[in-house]
Chain A
Amino acid sequence: MARRGFNLVEMLLATAITATLLVAVMVSLDVSYKAYRATTESTSTSVVGRVIMERLQGLIRNGIDFAPLPGSLSGTTFESSFLDIQRPDGTWVTIAWDAATSSITWTEDGNTHTVLEGVTQLPEGALGPVSPFVLEYHLGRHLHRATIDLSVVPDVEQHLDIEGDSEFIHRLVGSAMPRNAAWSN
């Protein structure tokens, strides 16, 4: 007798196996995709952060005047949430950390735009909270060195149970000395 097809048991069994495999594959695919997205966003954030840091350090290296000045004239090093930089052409740029929007903004000629999002502060603890700008002055008004310390959370849903639900924070730290001061010594 010629066999015309699968019987019901076979069909149910095949369907169950296929469904199980598909669910497993889809879960695996979803986890992989999320991990990929997280990794990509993390890497992207790191790269973008590095580019932004390089740009900010370039601004500091080339800057000829800076603000804010120390609140106490006898103090030389203090923390700030913003940094004003005067470029050699006389124009001023303000780089600020906006806590409300967790972003670094760039203000020039009255126009403000965001250059980096997801910038937060390290939580209270051994290291935190850390201000984004640490300014070291000499003789009351001459910037000797500026250190930028940014904690950036990549902008992506990253709660992966398989990774223990940990938050992934990039800490970008850079320091620059205005060449005006460096070559004056």
Chain B
Amino acid sequence: MHSAHPSWNRHRGVASVLAMMFIVLFGSLAATMAVVAQGNMRTAHAALRVSRSLSAAESGMVFAARRLQRETARFVVDRGVVDDGYGERLWFGTMTAADGAVTLLDPDGYSVPDPSGPGLMHVIHDAHLHADSYPVVLDEGSVVSLELDEVAGSITVPPIRIGTDEDDPYVLLQYELLDDGRFVRVTSVGVDHGIRRSIQMDFRIQKQIEYAVLAPNRIMIGKNVLVEGPIGSLYGIQPGELDPVNGDPLVLRSDFFDLDPLVLDVQLNILHQQLSLFDVDGDNRLRPDHPVEAEGINGYAQLQDHDGNEYIDDFDLFLGVYDVNSDGLVVYDAVQADAAGLPGLIDEFTVDMQLASLIDKGVPDRDGDGTVVAGGMDQSLGYLDGVLDARDLYGKVHGRLVFSVEQGAWEAAHGAGWQTIVQGPVRAPGTDSPVRFLVEAPELVEVTTDMFLNATNWFEAESMTGVAFGDDSSGQVGSNLDAGGGAEYHEASTQLHESMPLGSNGAYDWYQRPVYREMTFTNVRIPSGTNALFEECTFIGVTWVEIEEDCVDPDWNYAGAIEPDGLGGYTERFPGMTADAGATTYADTRIVSNNIRFHDCTFLGSVAGDRPGEFTHWRNKLQFTGNSRFYVDPADPDLAGQPDAASIQATLLGIDEADRQELAKSSVLMPGWSVDVGNFDNDSSTRVKLTGTIVAGVMDIRGTALVDGTLLMTFRPSEGEGPLFYAGTPDAFNTTIGYFGPVDGDGEGSDPSDPSFPGFGEIILRYDPDALLPDGIPWPVSASAEPGSYWEGR
């Protein structure tokens, strides 16, 4: 249609131009806004995907770590140290006879019908194959399958979706052994819509017994004992073990009893009762701000958080009684406090200086830098500063409590909450639960004496390098006598009979011992039947104690036992009783056993011995009495206070360094033996210092001692077996650390009210995560993250 008026077309043209200009203008602006906004949204979306992919990678790393740790723990090995070569052989499954026994435990929760090989890499591969199920997830459109490269030693795992939705991110894992065969590297790549983020971390294959104490017999830890490490109890799972007459899996005695019977003891009893009713996490502390635990405090004005750490425990009650001026500090050594930068204080606590010192020097590496520096930051954080306060981080146990027993069964047998007998705060590190029950292998493994029977170890070989023990005219004994000095030898027939246990009113046997005095032995093997008293002797290197290992005859303990006849002589306790070892019959088994007492002896090395086939607490027993000293490190700071420090250091430096490292792996390696250790003088300056993995059947440590390593007990007492063949109950054989007095039912314990009471002693059991294990202890290997190796890629 055409316009009727010619000028109208011109007018419409002008309007059209204007309209188009506006359209272009606004359109361009709108488009620009849309493009920029879209760009921002894409940037935001990309940032979100980066975050999601990184989170997926971290989830993958946690999964891989769990898989690696579970499967590694299936390898139970005799060899003590996983070095470069052994780690590689474990990974590839090329172990040799020289590596000792390697036992692969069954997988947990799945089965492997066709194992791909004997190595750790095979086991991890098989676990991914059989324990996991993988819905097919394409990685950037490609299929990735589970692959084991047996030449390179790497495992590639197909994509694992983090979630159930198709849009959820997924993760790719790879394991590979590094050139240093102790380390496995895990690479985890998280992918979210094309955005990939990778993280990497190394895991170390090693063998560690992560306990300060581990025992299949009941563990009794007394007053003035601090445990810096986990405690593992395997007791209470065999039929009858939980009968009240047989004792409890663990007894922890509060350090603060017997200081103030009228006030503090009463308060402690109230606290322990309330803990058994209201402590929900089992750390033996009540939190005033916790809805349940706070109920345990209501109505008890004396239960207050005096140290301000938001918990109420035994230490708070101690502060409440002895912090006279309510400044949060209990001063026990004002002079030391002044030197530590706390001037003008007055002593407030003098009742038990050993306890005060024990608490003040507990957890010495306060800043966690791996070293303890006198006068440095550790002291600024409360270490040995003459006062007791929150900075001392007091805990009866710095670690978790791990039990095989079921909590309810134990408490039902005991007739009360377990916390009525397990006293003192338990400070578990990080997110660890303070207490766990019903724990099984591989976390809690029972090591028996039988496991050592065929094990070879460095100590036995080293002991054979020395000269024979000899007699008064030959061997090391003869050499000592020939050298003159103060060396003495006295035949057994010239000595008085000694009760067993020493000084006991109810002795079950008597020994007439030969005496070796002021002698020095180097890498010596003490022959069976020596049954000696060594006084003021020095033992260098390995001291190996020989016995007849075939001592399983139930009469072994009793054949040849004697007792006073009332006429000044001794008579057979069990007339006519004999015991057999193979085809040989013995009327007195002591001639092929060894019950030895070391008094005031110095050990510059280790004590080890043959493995008895059965625990025989009379016949095969070591007692360390008097001022017993153990040193293996020439730079040991405890040496400084010794009058003969220079001589000891020179002797230690004379031992090959590699040998010293082996010796440090265990001060006492006596599986199946009864061992009593302690400085019974309670002299804190001459404490017994044991290092490494201390192995015994049962052990008794009293007085002043530092155990820097692990106490590993091997004997599980059972009624009708071994020393309980004829009579008796398992509670007679336990691991006892520290002071127990008459009020605790210990008839041999000294009474604090006695004027001659020597003190409660001072003992620290400190787990050393860096300690190297000796060969011959069957224990699972582990894979531990090396936090410093964490690496985040692109």
Interface residues of A (CB under 8 A from B): 3, 25, 29, 32-33, 36, 39-40, 43-44, 46-47, 50-51, 54, 58, 61-62, 64, 73-74, 88, 138-142, 179-185
Which residues between 741 and 794 of chain B lie within 8 Å of chain A, taking CB atoms? 785, 787-788, 790-792
Whether B790 pairs with A140 at a CB distance below 8 angstroms is no
Task: List, in ascending order, chain B residues with CB within 8 A of A25's CB.
Answer: 22
Whether B787 pairs with A179 at a CB distance below 8 angstroms is yes
Whether B429 pairs with A47 at a CB distance below 8 angstroms is no
Give the distance in Å from the alpha carbon of A185 to the alpha carbon of B62 in the complex.
13
For the complex of A and B, the 8 pairs showing the least CB-CB separation, nearest first, are A185-B430, A179-B790, A183-B787, A139-B368, A43-B40, A183-B785, A140-B367, A180-B787
Give the distance in Å from the alpha carbon of A38 to the alpha carbon of B51 in the complex.
26
Give the distance in Å from the alpha carbon of A44 to the alpha carbon of B584 in the complex.
93
Selected contact of B33 from candidates A36, A64, A141, A182, CB within 8 Å: A36
26 contacts between A and B (CB under 8 A): A25-B22, A39-B37, A40-B36, A43-B40, A46-B44, A47-B40, A47-B43, A47-B47, A50-B44, A50-B47, A54-B47, A54-B50, A61-B790, A73-B391, A74-B390, A88-B788, A140-B366, A140-B380, A142-B368, A179-B790, A181-B787, A182-B787, A183-B787, A184-B430, A185-B429, A185-B432
Give the distance in Å from the alpha carbon of A182 to the alpha carbon of B50 in the complex.
21
Selected contact of B44 from candidates A47, A180, A183, CB within 8 Å: A47
Whether B431 pairs with A185 at a CB distance below 8 angstroms is yes
Whether B366 pairs with A139 at a CB distance below 8 angstroms is yes
Whether A140 pairs with B377 at a CB distance below 8 angstroms is yes
CB of B335 within 8 A of chain A? Answer: no
Give the distance in Å from the alpha carbon of A183 to the alpha carbon of B7 in the complex.
85
Task: List, in ascending order, chain B residues with CB within 8 A of A183's CB.
Answer: 201, 785, 787, 790
Task: List, in ascending order, chain B residues with CB within 8 A of A73's CB.
Answer: 377, 380-381, 391
Task: List, in ascending order, chain B residues with CB within 8 A of A61's CB.
Answer: 790, 792
16 more A-B residue pairs beyond the given contacts A40-B36, A43-B37, A43-B44, with a C-beta to C-beta distance below 8 A: A40-B37, A44-B40, A47-B47, A50-B47, A62-B790, A64-B788, A73-B377, A73-B380, A88-B788, A141-B369, A179-B201, A180-B790, A184-B430, A184-B785, A184-B787, A185-B430
Whether A141 pairs with B792 at a CB distance below 8 angstroms is no
Given A43-B44, A62-B792, A180-B790; A141-B391 close (CB under 8 Å): no
Task: List, in ascending order, chain A residues with CB within 8 A of B37's CB.
Answer: 39-40, 43
Give the distance in Å from the alpha carbon of A64 to the alpha carbon of B33 in the complex.
44
- B408 vs chain A, min Cβ distance (A): 29
When C-beta atoms are compared, the residue in chain A nearest to B32 turns out to be A36
Whether A140 pairs with B47 at a CB distance below 8 angstroms is no
When C-beta atoms are compared, the residue in chain A nearest to B365 turns out to be A139
Type the 1/0 row for B1-41, where 1 means its CB is closer than 8 Å to any CB of A: 00000010000000000000010000001000100110010
Whether B368 pairs with A88 at a CB distance below 8 angstroms is no
- A184 vs chain B, min Cβ distance (A): 5
Give the distance in Å from the alpha carbon of A73 to the alpha carbon of B787 in the complex.
25
Interface residues of B (CB under 8 A from A): 7, 22, 29, 33, 36-37, 40, 43-44, 47, 50-51, 201, 366-369, 377, 380-381, 390-391, 429-432, 785, 787-788, 790-792
Whether B430 pairs with A141 at a CB distance below 8 angstroms is no
Give the distance in Å from the alpha carbon of A114 to the alpha carbon of B585 in the complex.
90
Whether B429 pairs with A180 at a CB distance below 8 angstroms is no
- A46 vs chain B, min Cβ distance (A): 7
- A19 vs chain B, min Cβ distance (A): 14
When C-beta atoms are compared, the residue in chain B nearest to A142 turns out to be B368
- B308 vs chain A, min Cβ distance (A): 9
Task: List, in ascending order, chain A residues with CB within 8 A of B7's CB.
Answer: 3
Interface of B is mostly: helix
Interface of A is mostly: helix
- B387 vs chain A, min Cβ distance (A): 13
- B379 vs chain A, min Cβ distance (A): 10
Task: List, in ascending order, chain B residues with CB within 8 A of A3's CB.
Answer: 7
- B21 vs chain A, min Cβ distance (A): 11
Interface centre among A36, A40, A138, A139 (most CB of B within 10 A): A139
Give the distance in Å from the alpha carbon of A51 to the alpha carbon of B791 in the complex.
19
- A73 vs chain B, min Cβ distance (A): 5
- A62 vs chain B, min Cβ distance (A): 5
Give the distance in Å from the alpha carbon of A135 to the alpha carbon of B785 in the complex.
25
Task: List, in ascending order, chain B residues with CB within 8 A of A139's CB.
Answer: 366-368, 381
Task: List, in ascending order, chain A residues with CB within 8 A of B29's CB.
Answer: 29, 32-33
Give the distance in Å from the alpha carbon of A141 to the alpha carbon of B370 in the complex.
12
Given A141-B368, A142-B368; A54-B40 close (CB under 8 Å): no
Interface centre among B44, B429, B790 (most CB of A within 10 A): B790
- B479 vs chain A, min Cβ distance (A): 52
When C-beta atoms are compared, the residue in chain A nearest to B308 turns out to be A74
Task: List, in ascending order, chain A residues with CB within 8 A of B788's CB.
Answer: 64, 88, 180
When C-beta atoms are compared, the residue in chain B nearest to A140 turns out to be B367
Whether A140 pairs with B33 at a CB distance below 8 angstroms is no
Task: List, in ascending order, chain A residues with CB within 8 A of B790's CB.
Answer: 61-62, 88, 179-180, 183
Task: List, in ascending order, chain B residues with CB within 8 A of A181's CB.
Answer: 787
When C-beta atoms are compared, the residue in chain A nearest to B432 turns out to be A185
Task: List, in ascending order, chain A residues with CB within 8 A of B50's CB.
Answer: 54
Task: List, in ascending order, chain A residues with CB within 8 A of B51's CB.
Answer: 54
Give the distance in Å from the alpha carbon of A131 to the alpha carbon of B50 in the complex.
27
- B51 vs chain A, min Cβ distance (A): 7
- B62 vs chain A, min Cβ distance (A): 10
- B199 vs chain A, min Cβ distance (A): 8
When C-beta atoms are compared, the residue in chain A nearest to B42 turns out to be A47
Give the distance in Å from the alpha carbon of A58 to the alpha carbon of B793 in the complex.
10
Task: List, in ascending order, chain B residues with CB within 8 A of A51's CB.
Answer: 47
Give the distance in Å from the alpha carbon of A180 to the alpha carbon of B366 in the complex.
18
Selected contact of B791 from candidates A47, A50, A62, A182, CB within 8 Å: A62
Task: List, in ascending order, chain B residues with CB within 8 A of A184's CB.
Answer: 430, 785, 787
Task: List, in ascending order, chain A residues with CB within 8 A of B33's CB.
Answer: 36, 40
Give the distance in Å from the alpha carbon of A152 to the alpha carbon of B377 in the complex.
38
Give the distance in Å from the alpha carbon of A68 to the alpha carbon of B788 in the complex.
20
Give the distance in Å from the alpha carbon of A19 to the alpha carbon of B43 in the complex.
41
Task: List, in ascending order, chain A residues with CB within 8 A of B380's CB.
Answer: 73, 140
Give the distance in Å from the alpha carbon of A79 to the alpha carbon of B390 in the complex.
23
- A151 vs chain B, min Cβ distance (A): 19
Task: List, in ascending order, chain A residues with CB within 8 A of B43's CB.
Answer: 47
Give the distance in Å from the alpha carbon of A140 to the alpha carbon of B373 in the complex.
14
Task: List, in ascending order, chain A residues with CB within 8 A of B36's CB.
Answer: 40
Give the distance in Å from the alpha carbon of A29 to the alpha carbon of B22 in the complex.
11
Give the distance in Å from the alpha carbon of A44 to the alpha carbon of B369 in the complex.
43
- A26 vs chain B, min Cβ distance (A): 11
Give the distance in Å from the alpha carbon of A153 to the alpha carbon of B43 in the complex.
20
Interface centre among A3, A47, A62 (most CB of B within 10 A): A47
Give the distance in Å from the alpha carbon of A3 to the alpha carbon of B754 in the complex.
136
When C-beta atoms are compared, the residue in chain B nearest to A46 turns out to be B44
Task: List, in ascending order, chain A residues with CB within 8 A of B391's CB.
Answer: 73-74
Give the distance in Å from the alpha carbon of A139 to the alpha carbon of B430 in the complex.
12
Task: List, in ascending order, chain A residues with CB within 8 A of B22's CB.
Answer: 25
- A167 vs chain B, min Cβ distance (A): 21
Give the distance in Å from the alpha carbon of A158 to the alpha carbon of B312 in the complex.
55
Give the distance in Å from the alpha carbon of A184 to the alpha carbon of B790 in the complex.
11
- A64 vs chain B, min Cβ distance (A): 6
Give the distance in Å from the alpha carbon of A179 to the alpha carbon of B381 in the complex.
25
Give the distance in Å from the alpha carbon of A73 to the alpha carbon of B380 in the complex.
7
Task: List, in ascending order, chain A residues with CB within 8 A of B791's CB.
Answer: 62, 88
Give the distance in Å from the alpha carbon of A72 to the alpha carbon of B531 in the complex.
59
Task: List, in ascending order, chain A residues with CB within 8 A of B792's CB.
Answer: 58, 61-62
- A90 vs chain B, min Cβ distance (A): 12
Whether A141 pairs with B40 at a CB distance below 8 angstroms is no
When C-beta atoms are compared, the residue in chain B nearest to A182 turns out to be B787
When C-beta atoms are compared, the residue in chain B nearest to A59 turns out to be B792
Give the distance in Å from the alpha carbon of A13 to the alpha carbon of B51 in the complex.
61
When C-beta atoms are compared, the residue in chain A nearest to B431 turns out to be A185
Give the distance in Å from the alpha carbon of A44 to the alpha carbon of B787 in the complex.
36
Give the distance in Å from the alpha carbon of A23 to the alpha carbon of B51 in the complex.
47
- A105 vs chain B, min Cβ distance (A): 22
- A28 vs chain B, min Cβ distance (A): 10
Give the distance in Å from the alpha carbon of A3 to the alpha carbon of B6 in the complex.
11
Task: List, in ascending order, chain B residues with CB within 8 A of A54's CB.
Answer: 47, 50-51
